[in-house]
Amino acid sequence: MHNVFDNIFLMLNNFNLNEESKKRELYVAMTRAKNNLVIHLNNDILKGIKVEKLILKTDTNKYEKQDIIVLQTTHRDVWLDSFANNYRQNLIKQLQSGDKLFYKNGACYIINKKELFKFSKAFISKIKGQQEKGYLIEKVKINFMVYWYKEENKEEILIALPEIYLKKI
């Protein structure tokens, strides 16, 4: 049985249906909606679609680029194994959501300059991409504290998922 959800929200940023894998991803996402399916997109890939109870709204407003961008992280954005030692677990257990962290060279540090964890290569690349657009990291703070179950060791490891605030210079 596939997971079904009451509401599905999709954000399709320059989504391209030319690849079979992308068509499949979209199909799977759309067929999981039990009550409501909301799709936000910035192209016309779904133009001409005929569906029962379809409500199409077009936003023609022009939006200025924001001075501040907030990047929300998930477990894919952090190097999970960087949390998997007793030293870091003792550090992280002293922290809570909202605590300030410091970013340097792909890692986050707590106030006394002790390394807490490293970001994934993909997320470091994302940050660099924003920096190339003129955004610099203004602050980093813990958003969520969650447990990751490391299957090979059969243990739960506490991890921090921060949010990163970038400011346009």
Domain ranges across the chain: 1-62, 68-168
pLDDT digits (tens, 9 = 90+) for 106-129: 999 998 789 999 999 999 999 999
In eight-state DSSP terms, residue 164 is E
pLDDT digits (tens, 9 = 90+) for 68-103: 999 999 999 999 999 999 999 999 999 999 999 999
Provide DSSP, 18-84. Answer: TSHHHHHHHHHHHTTEEEEEEEEESS-TTTT---TT----------PPPSEEEEEP-TTTB-GGGG-
In eight-state DSSP terms, residue 87 is H
Full-model pTM: 0.69
Which amino acid is residue 154, in one-letter code?
Answer: K
Topology (CATH) of 68-168: Alpha-Beta Plaits (3.30.70)
Round to the nearest angstrom and report the end-to-end CA distance of the chain: 49
For residue 1, name the pLDDT band (cuts at 50, 70, 90): low
What is the strand order of the sheet 107-109 is part of? 68-72, 155-168, 135-150, 100-104, 107-109, 115-118
Provide DSSP, 102-147. Answer: EEETTEEE-TTS-EEEEB-HHHHHHHHHHHHTTEEEEEEEEEEEEE
